[in-house]
Amino acid sequence: MELPLDLLRTVAAEQLAADGSTPLFLTVSGAHLYGFASPDSDFDLRGAHVLPLRRVLSLAPPSETLEYSGVRDGRELDVVSHDVRKFFGLMLRRNGYVMEQVFSPLVVAGGPALEELRDIARGCLTRNLHYHYRGFLDNQLEMLAREQPKRVKTLLYAYRVVLTGIHVLAAGEIEANLPRLLELHPQDRRIGALIAAKTREQAELDGAELETHLQLLSRLSSELDGGFESSKLPVEPSRARDLDDLLVRLRTVGLPA
């Protein structure tokens, strides 16, 4: 599905200008990044910005998160951006979600600063990301157990998150796109059928196949746990100092031209 980049850039620029902040980067997350967007999927923009220095130094604590949800040109948009201090802190706390935003190939706003951030972020990938993806998987499985009727979307999110976790622990890189993950880690072809159903807006899961999917997810869950033990990723980030230096430079010098 082609992204309306001009619209996304316009909305993001409006929100950041109203906040007085400068974007460090903005990328597309959610179903479009994960590879199973349907025609009614909203566009999730995620990223980081630099607050004006006066607001950072002020006695009044600044809001570090900018949020916007709305409909523009018939498209649902959801924008969430954190000030760089908050965002960089999340990068050091085994938060796979923000790492997926940094490495998303669907770039709305970026440039040299994003490339520098990506280089530093590679040194912030640790084996402890296992806990993020394991917790996310458990949440999706609990949600699936409660749902009536069962939704294809919930099952796809479970597959996406467990395979992303397996991949980062084994390869030391973030990959959040489910079709690409299935190329790298081939699985039962029925997962591909789920993706096709989701993109056709078929929301409900065929109950007859549920048990097969749960058995496969159980196996993948064990593989994720095993990946933690065998991963060659470090336990702690190796580039925390570089991230701190970048933060100070963004505050004092600003973004590169």
| Sequence ranges of the domains in the chain | 5-124+238-252, 129-230
pLDDT in tens, the chain (257 residues): 678 999 999 999 999 999 999 999 999 999 999 999 998 899 999 999 999 999 999 999 899 999 999 999 999 999 999 999 999 999 999 999 999 999 999 999 999 999 999 999 999 999 999 999 999 999 999 999 999 888 999 999 999 999 999 999 999 999 999 999 999 999 988 899 899 988 877 677 877 788 999 999 999 999 999 999 999 999 999 999 999 999 999 999 988 76
Q: Distance between CA atoms of 179 and 192, rounded to whole angstroms?
A: 8
Q: Distance between CA atoms of 53 and 89, rounded to whole angstroms?
A: 18
Length of the chain: 257
CB 95 within 8 A of CB 121: no
Q: What Cα–Cα distance (Å) separates residue 144 from each residue in 34, 150, 204?
A: 19, 6, 11
Q: What are phi and psi of 50, to 5 degrees?
A: -110, 115
Domain 5-124+238-252 has CATH 3.30.460.10: yes
Amino acid, res. 40: D
Give residue 77's pLDDT.
96
